[in-house]
Amino acid sequence: MSKALKRQSIIPRIDGILRDVERLEKFGKMSLSDLKSNVDNFYLTQFHLRQALEGVFHIGEHILSRLNGARSTEYKEIAKKLGEYKVVYYEFANTELVQMAGYRNRLTHFYAEITPDELYKIINENLGDFRVFVKAIKDLLDNPGRLGLDVE
């Protein structure tokens, strides 16, 4: 198995995460009543949040697949292993990333239960977690040897 991280698999996903976060920040600037009254904005907010979360866990899965014994396909497990293998800070992995995994599953499987209030709270309080994740991944791409990896 190749120990090389594939830049062409990671960079477009990072760019996608950052684009989705920018769009979510715009939705966060509107009032809660605007989000509630405009169903299109509500669904677009869900879409961009789910897409950004998918990007996080696709990148995580890709990295873990290059590390011996780290492969995982379950999102909360991916989050935890990213901390165990020091891809991201352990505490961040076991708190914010695990919560992100849970919310990704909620958006995917329990989307009918999502409320504008909870979505509004997330886009106004938690979008910085995506930037923390992206910074850790960029740091890894700059120094893959710290995990015994290469980048191609």
How many helices (H) and strands (E) in the chain?
Answer: 8, 2
Q: Which of 124, 117, 78, 118 is nearest to 98 (CA)?
A: 78
For the chain, where are the E strands, in sequence order?
Answer: 4-5, 150-151
Indicate the SS3 state at residue 4: strand
Phi, psi of 4 (to 5 degrees): -90, 130
Q: What is the pLDDT of residue 72?
A: 87
* pLDDT band at 2; cut points 50, 70, 90: low
| Total-model pTM | 0.94
The full DSSP string for 93-120 is IIIIIHHHHHHHHHHHHSGGG--HHHHH
Q: For residue range 104-113, what is the model confidence (pLDDT) as tens digits?
A: 999 999 989 9
Complete domains list, the chain, with CATH:
4-145 (1.20.120.580)
Between residues 45 and 68, which one has the greater pLDDT? 45
Q: What is the pLDDT of residue 73?
A: 81
Q: What does the pLDDT average to over 131-139? A: 98
Q: What does the pLDDT average to over 88-99? A: 97
Sequence-ordered list of residues with C-beta below 8 angstroms from that of 45, at least 6 positions apart, any chain: 24, 27, 35, 119, 123
Hey, what are 150's tokens?
A: 């290469």
* pLDDT band at 1; cut points 50, 70, 90: very low
Q: What does the pLDDT average to over 55-81? A: 94
Q: For residue range 15-65, what is the model confidence (pLDDT) as tens digits?
A: 999 999 999 999 999 999 999 999 999 999 999 999 999 999 999 999 999
Rg over CA atoms, the chain: 16
